[in-house]
Amino acid sequence: MAKMINTELLQDHARQYKLSKATAVEYHKQLFQLHPELAEPYNAEDLDPESLQRSQKFIIQGMSELQNFFALPTAFGDDRKWRNALVAFKEQYGDIGLSLEEFHKVTGAFLAAMNKNAGGVSNEQKKNWEELLTVAYESMKKYGWF
């Protein structure tokens, strides 16, 4: 892992996300708007993204997936913790039948949710999140998960 990623910056940014029932669905709302094809594994292809806030399933899933993202900066640099943090995505995606090969598509949705609920996203934060999520994707591929 030769990339220089400012994990402290990302940890601070993750702590700014006001995670609640109201904000938990923002990630999926953005994901399905940016990548409608990804709604199918979630059984959400016929759902209006605005209706996700009334779905207990998406509130719970959103909280879980966002917490998985928030764990990445802390785990980065420690091979065992890093792999465990990525296993959380592997299990979550496996449960819904979404290939980890699609993971590279989540960055935009995650950053849009951060922008809305974590006080914005600076250029430096964006660059570091993008690099971190690229390393996560490359690691998943290296582990042979797709």
All domains in the chain, ordered by first residue: 7-143 (1.10.490.10)
What are the pLDDT digits (tens) for 110-124?
999 999 999 999 999
Mean pLDDT of the chain: 95
Indicate whether 3 pLDDT > 80: no
- pLDDT at position 139, please? 98
* CA pseudo-torsion sign 62, 40, 54, 49: positive
pLDDT at 50: 82
Q: Count of CB atoms within 10 A of residue 144's CB?
A: 6
Share of the chain above pLDDT 90, in %: 90
- Asked whether the predicted pLDDT for residue 1 surpasses 80, the reply is no
CA distance 136 to 88: 12
Task: Kindly state the average pLDDT of the residues 89-110.
Answer: 96
Cβ atoms of 101 and 35 within 8 Å: the answer is no
Q: What pLDDT was estimated at residue 126? A: 98
Q: Please compute the mean of the pLDDT values over residues 84-97 and round it to a whole number.
A: 96
What integer is the mean pLDDT of 6-27? Answer: 96
pLDDT 10s digits, 29-83: 999 999 999 999 999 988 888 889 899 999 999 999 999 999 999 999 999 999 9
* Residue 70, pLDDT score: 98
